[in-house]
Amino acid sequence: MSVAPIDKAAILAEALPYIRSFNNKTIVVKYGGNAMTDDKLKEDFAKDIVLLKLVGLNPVVVHGGGPQINELLERVGKEGQFIQGMRVTDSETMDVVEMVLGGLVNKEIVSLLNKHGGKAVGITGKDGHFIRASKLFLKSESDENIDIGQVGDIEHIDPSLVALLDSHDFIPVIAPIGVGKDGEAYNINADVVAGKLAETLKAEKLVLMTNTPGVLDKQGNLLTGLTAAKVDELFADGTISGGMLPKISSALDAAKSGVNSVHIIDGRVPHALLLEILTDEGVGTMIKAG
């Protein structure tokens, strides 16, 4: 669809106050869902991130890679297992996770960003030991520990490596792999890493890209502007449940811990990032602390 020059000018003018307001502010983006697997959406995402960097924002990308991990596990004849929505990660599976997240997926994102004029650098939490983690145990109904292997719980994030990259106009692209006290690798939920990183960096925004329009009420209607208190209510009455629980929990923790706003957006929408950050309309749910 062609856009008249006057309409293009209006769109650019609409973005100006947002560019001014967010100049030199950090925005943490959790990249996942269809936006990571559809070739056109991947290109749109890369262009959006590079544009945000060029107009003065400091985007930091944290990515997942569940479908790609499942695909490689199948190729090596290993079936993925999940307990309470968490991937059981034995040492063999952890090798695959590191290959996919720290290698294949991470470097593909870096290459796409660099192709469109960015200066992207791919890292994992093992680089500089900047994401320290310990073993995560799940709880059974009888309150007993369930061992799911090398799955990590974040103990500490050192912001200095990301800050150094930002200060030299690089775009950090982070695979959600943590490191233990003895150097062991841990697989960590990407939403959790993005949320904790946003808190640590005192980010202006945390953006979580999903395969849903955002947070929906029980009738399937999109909920746009939410407070942390309202989200607590949605947890309590069962509106938020299932696969959205860890994502919204990370968003809520970030909003309560100093991140100015958290956005849950539909990554299936072309240029969803630009629409959410630089326009009046937005394409998802925004959560603020108060």
Q: Which residues are annotated as a binding site for substrate?
A: 65-66, 87, 187
Q: Which residues fall in the annotated binding site?
A: 65-66, 87, 187
**CA angle, 104 as apex, 98 and 107 as ends, to 5°?**
110
Tokens of 61: 């990308």
Q: Which of 88, 10, 76, 59 has its CA nearest to residue 206?
A: 59
- What is the per-residue DSSP string for 52-76? HHHTT-EEEEEE--HHHHHHHHHHT
Helix (H) or strand (E) holding 214, with range, is none
CA distance 161 to 31: 20
Tokens of 184: 């062991």
Strand positions, DSSP E, 74-166: 82-83, 86-87, 120-124, 131-139, 145-157
Exposed / middle / buried, residue 76 (Cβ in 10 Å: 0-12, 13-18, 19+): exposed
List, in sequence order, every residue forming a beta bridge with 253; answer none if it has no partner. none
Sequence-distant (6+) residues with CB within 8 A of 190 are 30, 32, 62, 63, 64, 65, 176
